[in-house]
Amino acid sequence: MKKQRYLIRVPGTSANLGPGFDIMGLAVNVYNQFFFEFSDKSAYKTQLVDGRPVPFEPSDDLVWESYKRYFSIFLPNQEPLPYDLSMDLNLPLKGGLGSSASAVVAGFSAARLAHKKFYKSDKLPDENLFLYELAEVEGHADNTIPAYMGGLVLAYFIERKRLHFFKKKLPTNVSIFIFIPNIEIETSASRRTLPVSYSTKDVIYNMARVATWFEFLGTKRFSHLRLAVKDKLHTPYRITKHPVLPKLSEFIEKLGGCYSLSGSGPSLLLYCKKSEEEKFHKEV
Q: In what order do the strands lie in the sheet with 258-261?
A: 174-179, 268-273, 258-261
131 and 199 co-located in one domain: no
Distance in angstroms (rounded) separating the CA atoms of residues 263 and 281: 22
132 and 190 co-located in one domain: no
Residue 223 belongs to domain spanning: 174-283
155 and 184 co-located in one domain: no
102 and 202 co-located in one domain: no
140 and 180 co-located in one domain: no
Assign residue 227 the CATH number of its domain: 3.30.70.890
- Looking at residue 94, its pLDDT comes to 84
Phi then psi dihedrals of residue 269, to 5 deg: -95, 130
Residue of 92, 134, 88 whose CA lies nearest to 268 = 92
| Structure letter (DSSP) for residue 14 | E
Query: Which of 147, 168, 189 is the last residue before a domain boundary?
Result: 168
- Looking at residue 268, its pLDDT comes to 93
The number of folded domains in the chain is 2
Residue of 268, 178, 255, 264 whose CA lies nearest to 222 = 255
Q: Residues 142, 157: contact at Cβ < 8 Å?
A: no
Strands 46-48 and 84-88: parallel
Query: Which of 105, 134, 168 is the last residue before a domain boundary?
Result: 168
Assign residue 39 the CATH number of its domain: 3.30.230.10
- Looking at residue 188, its pLDDT comes to 64
140 and 84 co-located in one domain: yes
160 and 190 co-located in one domain: no
- Looking at residue 190, its pLDDT comes to 64
Interaxial angle between packed helices 62-74 and 99-118, expressed in degrees from 0 to 180 and rounded to the nearest 10: 40
Interaxial angle between packed helices 99-118 and 127-138, expressed in degrees from 0 to 180 and rounded to the nearest 10: 140
162 CB-near residues (< 8 Å, 6+ apart): 128, 132
Query: Which of 168, 183, 209 is the last residue before a domain boundary?
Result: 168
143 and 197 co-located in one domain: no
Look at residue 37 and give its three-state secondary structure: strand
- Looking at residue 189, its pLDDT comes to 64
186 and 128 co-located in one domain: no
- Looking at residue 34, its pLDDT comes to 99
26 and 133 co-located in one domain: yes
215 and 149 co-located in one domain: no
192 and 69 co-located in one domain: no
Regions in the chain scoring below 70 on pLDDT: 184-190
Residue 152 forms beta bridges with which residues? 26, 168
- Looking at residue 153, its pLDDT comes to 97
Q: What angle is formed at CA 82 by the lines to CA 44 and CA 99, rounded to 5 degrees?
A: 55
- pLDDT 10s digits, 113-153: 999 999 988 999 999 999 999 999 998 899 999 999 999 99
